[in-house]
Each structure stands twice: as C-alpha cells, then as structure tokens.
C-alpha cells in the first residue's frame, strides 16, 4: 500500500514497498515465469499548474536601469562626528536594500537615540531613507527628509523587488564576524516587519517562486549568511510535478514588494506622522553644516560616494524589462534561462504595474542607458523558458 503525506509522496513507504516487490521478483524470476508483480505506481504531487508568461518584444511596456549601491565589504552602519554634528551612516545596501532597510533603519535609529537631540535630518528619500525616517518617528524623533530626488525617481523604484537580503551586498571574502552579526540582526527585523505590512496598502504579498534546476540538492539552502527562519519552506519538485524541462524545480514562498505602491505608502506614512520632505542636493559635507538639525542620518545610497568620499562604493548596474501585466501569472521564477553569465540570476516577477524580467548586474558601470545586448539576452532567455513549459 502506498502512503502519502499531506498529498505528497511518502518516499520511505515507496522504498519499502518497491524494494520488497523487486526482491520477490528476483528470488523467483529464474525458476518459474510468474505473472509480473503489480508494482506500486509512483504517485507524485499533483503537477503545479502555471500559466506561461507571454514574452515578445511587442509586449514590452518599458525598460528601466538602476544603479545598485554596492560596497564589497557590505553596507555601512555607524555613527561619526562631523564638526558639531552627529552623522549616522546607513547606506551601501547593494541589491538588497528593499529587503534589508527596515532592519538597518531600526539599527540606525537606535544609534541616533544616543544623541540628545530629538530632531533628525534624514538624507535620502529612497527605501533606506524612508524606512529610517519611520523607525526614528517610532522612537519619538521629529524628522525632515532632505533629498535630491524622491519617488518615483530613486534607485529604489527601479528594483525588482523580491526579498533577496544577500543579493549584490558583500564580497564573501570581505565580510567580518561583526558585519555578519549586524547583517543577521537586520535580516530578522526586516523579514518580520515586511511580513506585518503584507496587504494592498503597501503592495507587499506572498508568492510562490520556482527555480528550474537539474541539481537534486538545490532546495537544501546553502546561503550560510541567512538566519534559519528565512531559509525555511523550500520544496524540491520532481519531474512530473512541475512544468519545466529540467529534472527538478525548487518551490519556495517569497515576499514580493511592489516598489511604486510601497514607496508612495512610506512617503504618506512619513508625512502622516509629522515628517516633512525637502528637495535639496548636498554637494559637500560642508553643505550639511547649514542644516538646523545636529543629528543627521545618511541614507544617500550611491550618492555617499561623492558626498562622503567613500571610495569603496560602486554601482552594480541593473536593467529591468517590463511586459504587459497578465493577471493569470501568479508566481515568480528564478533561473532556468540559458546563456546567463555566471553569478547572475535571472528573475521574473509579476506585479500590478507589469511583468518584470531582470537578470543583469554590470559592475562599476555608471551609465543609465539601455544595454541592447542585455535586453535581448533577458527577453530571449525568458521566451525560451516560458515557451518550453508544459501548458496547464
């Protein structure tokens, strides 16, 4: 008798029944030809039914380029003195700012609490500045955000944006135990906070992600940097249980953030809690001396390179191709696309503002022009993936 566990194959039972049947056949097969024993049918989980994305150039509604603020030794989170002012730095989140910012924002606000002033100037109105501002407000600070640009004109708006806390963040050989401890703490805070914001107001939701693969160990989760809680939930689907041409597919739940909804909601929250937003660009640290606030929280992302002379900061240029939305596409994918450069992961993320195709990372490239070769690679790769899927 074959057993199932929660609708899935109970492999221990299969092995027991299958091996007994084979053993019986082997012992008797040479002597007399018996009717073939009834082999238990392999019962797989019901196949996942996924509507394919319709990928073609005439369905492209826009293409965007953003410069991820990458530092090989990871984000900066510390308090410095600058003449009479305290500057708490919170920048350099690489390809993980949408995921991590509630965490680093809370840690920045806790550093700010050591300062007696309860008025704070936050520099930057991307996701790092907005979430730091909210964390400061929650601790009783009166906040003004100063920024050269505000949503939708920030890198944060150009994000894919899944919960990817380790993406483009730190070079593995540059990380230190202290930085890792900060990182894990930030992930735990951010993961919980984003879960609590799930719903239409913030454009945050759960979605299943599928990674087609031929690697039977792909679901075991190898990213040692991540806390255990974030690594749970992956399932390895067998051939017949998923629609891809690969042998396996890893299914895992993923937090999806829709940047245009999320960032606008955060702007509204900052203002609703008494905050103000001023458009202003700072050329040098000297310009900061003109601010009334003696406490400054620096969330300028890549802008910190010029403003504070951080020579480690560099862009990881990322390009997104956006297709017409398809309501029936209610899952995301990672990988499964031919001709991807090593270490670059292609992604498909469906959102209300379109189906987003990503998968480019160009180190230290500052231009925001569209890279046509990369556009072709990402479109053609995804076209191949979705056209080869088994139709539901």
Ligand X SMILES: Cc1cc2nc3c(=O)[nH]c(=O)nc-3n(C[C@H](O)[C@H](O)[C@H](O)COP(=O)(O)OP(=O)(O)OC[C@H]3O[C@@H](n4cnc5c(N)ncnc54)[C@H](O)[C@@H]3O)c2cc1C
Interface residues toward ligand X, by CB under 6 A = 66, 68-69, 91, 93-99, 123-129, 147-149, 154-156, 158-162, 164, 167, 281-282, 299-303, 307, 318, 320, 358
Nearer CB in complex with ligand X: 66/350? 66
Contact call for residues 104 and 136 (beta carbons, < 8 A): no
341 or 392: CB nearest ligand X: 341
Nearer to ligand X, 194 or 236 (CB): 194
**CB 116 → ligand X: shortest distance, Å?**
25
Query: Minimal CA–CA distance to 163: which of 254, 63, 263?
Result: 254
Query: Nearer Cβ to ligand X, position 92 or 243?
Result: 92
Residue 372 Cβ vs ligand X, minimum distance, rounded to whole Å: 16
* Rg value, the chain, Cα: 25
Of 272, 288, 243, 255, the C-alpha closest to 89 is: 288
Token pair, residue 226, equals 């991540």
What separation in angstroms does the CA of 339 have from each of 320, 355, 374? 17, 21, 11
* Residue 345 CA from chain centroid, whole number: 11
Listed residue (322, 321, 325) closest to 370, CA to CA: 321
Would you say 248 or 332 has its CB closer to ligand X? 332
What does the CA dihedral 358, 360, 363, 365 come to, rounded to 10 degrees? Answer: -90
Minimum distance of ligand X from residue 163's CB (angstroms)? 7
Closer CB to ligand X, 236 or 355, in the complex: 355
User: CB of 92: closest distance to ligand X in angstroms?
Assistant: 8
CA dist 89 and 76 (Å) reads 6
Closest separation between CB of residue 207 and ligand X, Å?
Answer: 12
Structure tokens at 80: 């410095």
Query: What span, in angstroms and rounded, lies between the C-alpha atoms of 351 and 237?
Result: 25
Nearer to ligand X, 126 or 243 (CB): 126
d(CA 285, CA 306): 10
Partners of 45 in the β-ladder? none
CB of 199 to ligand X, least distance (A): 19
Question: What phi, psi does 15 have (nearest 5°)?
Answer: -60, -45
Least CB distance from residue 300 to ligand X, whole Å?
4
For residue 230, what is the DSSP state?
A: H
């Amino acid at each position: 008798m074959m057993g199932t566990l929660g609708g899935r194959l109970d492999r221990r039972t299969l092995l027991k029944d299958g091996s007994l049947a084979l053993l019986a056949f082997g012992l008797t097969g040479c002597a007399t030809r018996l009717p073939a024993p009834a082999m238990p049918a392999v019962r797989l989980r019901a196949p996942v039914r996924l509507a394919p994305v319709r990928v073609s150039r005439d369905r492209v509604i826009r293409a965007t380029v953003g410069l991820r603020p990458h530092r090989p030794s990871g984000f900066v989170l510390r308090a410095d003195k600058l003449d009479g002012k305290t500057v708490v730095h919170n920048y350099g989140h690489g390809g993980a700012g949408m995921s991590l910012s509630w965490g680093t924002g809370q840690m920045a606000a806790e550093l700010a609490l050591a300062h007696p002033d309860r008025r704070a100037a936050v520099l930057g109105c991307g996701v790092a500045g907005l979430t730091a501002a909210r964390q400061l407000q929650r601790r009783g600070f009166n906040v003004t955000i100063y920024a050269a640009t505000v949503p939708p004109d920030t890198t944060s708006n150009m994000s894919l944006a899944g919960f990817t806390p380790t993406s483009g963040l730190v070079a593995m050989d540059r990380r230190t135990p202290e930085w890792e401890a900060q990182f894990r703490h930030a992930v735990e805070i951010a993961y919980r906070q984003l879960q609590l914001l799930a719903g239409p107001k913030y454009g945050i939701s759960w979605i299943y992600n599928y990674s087609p693969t031929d690697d039977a160990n792909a679901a075991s989760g190898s990213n040692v940097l991540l806390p255990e809680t974030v690594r749970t939930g992956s399932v390895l689907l067998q051939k017949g249980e998923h629609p891809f041409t690969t042998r396996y597919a890893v299914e895992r739940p993923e937090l999806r953030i829709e940047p245009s909804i999320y960032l606008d909601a955060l702007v509204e929250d900052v203002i609703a809690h008494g905050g103000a937003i001023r458009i202003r660009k700072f050329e040098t640290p000297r310009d900061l001396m003109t601010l009334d606030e003696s406490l400054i929280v620096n969330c300028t992302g890549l802008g910190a390179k010029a403003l504070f002379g951080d020579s480690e900061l560099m862009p990881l240029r990322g390009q997104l191709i956006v297709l017409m939305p398809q309501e029936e596409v209610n899952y995301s994918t990672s990988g499964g696309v031919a001709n991807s450069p090593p270490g670059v992961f292609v992604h498909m993320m469906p959102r209300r503002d379109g189906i987003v195709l990503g998968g480019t990372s160009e180190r230290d490239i500052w231009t925001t022009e569209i890279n046509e070769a990369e556009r072709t690679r990402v479109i053609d790769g995804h076209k191949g993936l979705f056209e080869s899927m088994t139709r539901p």
